[in-house]
Amino acid sequence: MQLQQLLSYVRRAVDDYQMIDDGDRIAVGVSGGKDSLALLYALKELRRFYPKKFDIEAISVDLGFGNIDFEQIRSFTDSLGVEYSIAKTDIAEVVFNQRNEKSPCSLCAKMRKGALNTMAKEHGCNKTAFGHHKDDIVNTMLLSLLFEGRFYSFKPVTYLDRMDLTLIRPLMYVEEADIIGFVNKYNLQILKNPCPVDGETKRQYAKELANQLNRDHPGAKERMFRAVLTGVYGK
């Protein structure tokens, strides 16, 4: 996928859901994975011509696994001219050793978001941006339907009143396959997910199920996405 196509999707999401206002300082969560790198790249480029002026800062959450090369991320952010910070945590110790969670994803995600949001506020940001894409929205809907018995997915814009912070998801219209194509085309260096249960979670199951449904019934994922837009987002 070309940069211009990625920017068109991101701008559409930003405009459709009023994600960015004049004077915003946005903390972009950067894990080193394909989605967060593509998001940071896109927002950096969008900032050059978007009529509303905003600043961005990249923040990584160090979960404490000890096997992530954050200097590789720093080299990338330096090449973009974007400020970069690392939030040090002991999330891995808490989730896998102290709590010994059998299904660690929910607690890990909650603690990771908390660490990111806390540093964002400390650095004067009023918004955080996550790299969730179109497939993530569909997969989350399936997870909620199958395991919680409700039709739900995360929203494009969420205001966290206790922190006075707004969370945005500018990649919501971008398919995962297109992100992979973009990352390969622009030779972005991806870091492997350090989590020991990566690829063995309920979310992975939902992802594989959505892909299988789409193979059996072409266009199924797009129809599920449209259902989320109308049923959850009211669009």
Percent of the chain's residues with pLDDT above 70: 95
At 217, which amino acid appears?
H
DSSP conformational letter for 197: T
Average pLDDT for residues 96-113, to the nearest whole number? 76
pLDDT band at 71 (very low <50, low <70, confident <90, very high): very high
Which pLDDT belongs to residue 201? Answer: 79
Q: Is the sign of the CA dihedral 70, 191, 25, 42 positive or negative? A: positive
Which of 18-22, 55-59, 189-193, 203-207 is the least confident region?
189-193
The answer to whether 168 and 132 have CB atoms below 8 angstroms apart is no
Which pLDDT belongs to residue 220? Answer: 97
130: helix, strand or coil: coil
Residue 23, sorted as left (phi over 0), alpha (psi -120 to 50) or beta, turns out to be left
| Helices vs. strands in the chain: H and E counts, helices first | 9, 6
Average pLDDT for residues 100-115, to the nearest whole number? 78
| Sole residue written with tokens 């999330």 | 91
Task: With a cut of 70, say whether residue 116 has pLDDT above it.
Answer: yes
Please tell us whether the domain made up of 3-231 is placed in CATH 3.40.50.620: yes
H or E element at residue 226: helix 220-231
Alpha-carbon distance values, 203 to 65, 103, 198 (Å): 21, 11, 10
